Amino acid sequence: MQIEAKNISFRYRENTPWILKDVSLKIEEGERVGLIGPSGYGKSTLVKILAGYLKPAKGEVLLDGKPLPKKGVCPVQLIYQHPEKAINPRWRMKKVLEESGMFRDEVMEALGIERDWLDRYPRELSGGELQRFCVARSLFEGTHFLFADEMSTMLDVITQAQIWNLMLKEVEERRLGLLMVTHNSSLAERICTRTINLAEINSREE
Ligand SMILES: Nc1ncnc2c1ncn2[C@@H]1O[C@H](COP(=O)(O)OP(=O)(O)OP(=O)(O)O)[C@@H](O)[C@H]1O
| CA 105 to centroid of ligand 1, rounded, Å | 37
Best substitution site from 20, 43, 153 to test ligand 1's pocket, by max atoms within 8 Å of Cβ? Answer: 43
- How many CB atoms are closer than 10 A to CB 131? 27
Strand 32-36 relative to strand 177-181, pairing: parallel
pTM: 0.91
Q: From the CB of 19, is ligand 1 less than 6 Å away?
A: yes
Instruction: Name the DSSP letter for residue 115.
Output: G
What confidence tens digit (pLDDT) does each residue in 36-46 have?
999 899 999 99
Instruction: Please report which confidence band the pLDDT of residue 99 belongs to, taking 50, 70 and 90 as the band edges.
Output: confident
Q: Does residue 64 come out as left (phi exceeding 0), alpha (psi in the -120 to 50 range) or beta?
A: left
Please tell me the distance from the alpha carbon of residue 165 to that of residue 160, in angstroms, as a whole number.
Answer: 8
Helices (H), the chain: 43-50, 83-86, 93-100, 105-110, 127-138, 157-174, 185-191, 198-201
Ligand 1 atom having least distance to the Cα of 37: 21
Residue 159 confidence (pLDDT): 85
CB contact set of 102 (below 8 Å; sequence gap of 6+): 136, 137, 139, 140, 141
Residues in the chain: 206
What confidence tens digit (pLDDT) does each residue in 146-158 have?
999 988 777 888 8
| CA 150 to centroid of ligand 1, rounded, Å | 13
ipTM of the complex: 0.96
Please tell me the distance from the alpha carbon of residue 75 to that of residue 109, in angstroms, as a whole number.
Answer: 24
The domains found in the chain, sorted by start residue, are: 31-53+73-192 (3.40.50.300)
Q: From the CB of 72, is ligand 1 less than 6 Å away?
A: no
| CA 43 to centroid of ligand 1, rounded, Å | 8
Average pLDDT over residues 122-128: 93
Residue type, 43: K
| CA 45 to centroid of ligand 1, rounded, Å | 6
| CA 40 to centroid of ligand 1, rounded, Å | 5
Q: From the CB of 17, is ligand 1 less than 6 Å away?
A: no
